Amino acid sequence: MKNNQHGRDSNLHVLKSSVNRHALFGLSISIFAVVVATLANCYFSTGSLSLNGIYAVQKDLPVLWLLDALPFIFLFWGQHVGSVLAYEANTLINDQTDDLKNQTASLEKQVMYEATHDSLTDLPNRILLHDRLDQAINTAIRHKYKVGLILLDLDRFKEVNDTLGHFAGDRLLKQVSLRLTGIVRKSDTLARMGGDEFAILLTHVKSTKDLELFINRITKVMVLPFKLSGMSLDLQASLGVALCPDHGKDVDTLIQRAEVAMYAAKQKRNGYAIYSRNLDRFSPRRLTLMGELRQALQRDELILYYQPQINLLTKTVHQAEALIRWQHPIHGLLSPNEFIQLAERTGLIKELTNWVLNQSINQIFKWQEKNFPMTLAVNISPSCLLNTELPEIIIGSLGSHNLGKSMLTIEITETSIIQDPDLAYEILNRLKKLGADISIDDFGTGYSSMAHLKKLPVSEMKIDKSFVMDMLNNSDDETIVKSIIDLGHNLGLTVVAEGVESIHIAKRLQQLGCDTLQGYHFSKPLPPEEFEAWHAGYADVLISELLD
Asked if 188 contacts 124 with a C-beta cutoff of 8 angstroms, the reply is no
Give the CATH number, domain containing residue 213.
3.30.70.270
- Quick check: is 97 in a domain? yes
- Quick check: is 192 in a domain? yes
Size (the chain), residues: 548
Q: Encode pLDDT of 367-408 as tens digits.
A: 999 999 899 999 988 778 878 888 888 888 887 777 776 788
Strands 460-463 and 437-443: parallel
Rg (CA), the chain: 43
Residues 252 and 353 reside in one and the same domain: no
The H-assigned helical ranges of 117-232 are: 126-143, 157-164, 166-181, 208-223
Residues 36 and 136 reside in one and the same domain: no
* Short-list 77, 75, 74, 55, CA closest to 65: 55
- Quick check: is 300 in a domain? no
Phi-psi region of 153 (alpha: psi -120 to 50; beta: other; left: phi over 0): beta
Q: Encode pLDDT of 139-168 as tens digits.
A: 888 888 899 999 999 887 877 776 777 788
Q: How far apart are the first and last CA of the chain?
A: 102
- Quick check: is 431 in a domain? yes
Residues 101 and 24 reside in one and the same domain: yes
- Quick check: is 534 in a domain? no
Residues 28 and 131 reside in one and the same domain: no
CA dihedral 393, 398, 400, 401 (to 10 degrees): 150
Residues 350 and 489 reside in one and the same domain: yes
Asked if 326 contacts 334 with a C-beta cutoff of 8 angstroms, the reply is yes
Residues 194 and 79 reside in one and the same domain: no
- pLDDT score recorded for residue 447: 46
- pLDDT score recorded for residue 18: 59
- At residue 85, the 3 state secondary structure works out as helix
Residues 389 and 418 reside in one and the same domain: yes
- pLDDT score recorded for residue 91: 74
Asked if 214 contacts 220 with a C-beta cutoff of 8 angstroms, the reply is no
- pLDDT score recorded for residue 460: 92
Give the CATH number, domain containing residue 415.
3.20.20.450
Residues 132 and 45 reside in one and the same domain: no
Cβ count within 10 A of residue 524: 13
Asked if 73 contacts 29 with a C-beta cutoff of 8 angstroms, the reply is no
- Residue 310 — φ and ψ, nearest 5°? -90, 115
Residues 311 and 430 reside in one and the same domain: yes
- Residue 374 — φ and ψ, nearest 5°? -150, 125
- pLDDT score recorded for residue 206: 81
DSSP run (H or E) holding 481 = helix 475-490
Residues 6 or more apart whose Cβ sits within 8 Å of residue 464: 442, 443, 444, 445, 498, 499
Domain ranges, residue 91: 2-116
Low-confidence ranges of the chain (pLDDT < 50): 1-2, 282, 447
- At residue 458, the 3 state secondary structure works out as coil
Greatest distance between any 2 Cα atoms in the chain: 161
- pLDDT score recorded for residue 542: 84
Long-range contacts of 456-459 (CB under 8 A, 24+ apart): 456/417, 456/425, 456/428, 457/428, 457/429, 457/431, 457/432, 458/428, 458/493, 459/493, 459/494
pTM: 0.56
* Short-list 22, 55, 52, 49, CA closest to 36: 49
The one-letter code for the residue type at 158 is: K
Our count of domains for the chain comes to 3
- pLDDT score recorded for residue 287: 61
- Quick check: is 510 in a domain? no
Residues 418 and 364 reside in one and the same domain: yes
- Quick check: is 538 in a domain? no
- pLDDT score recorded for residue 312: 92
Residues 111 and 130 reside in one and the same domain: no
Burial of residue 532 (number of CB atoms within 10 Å: 0-12, 13-18, 19+)? middle
Residues 83 and 144 reside in one and the same domain: no
- Quick check: is 297 in a domain? no
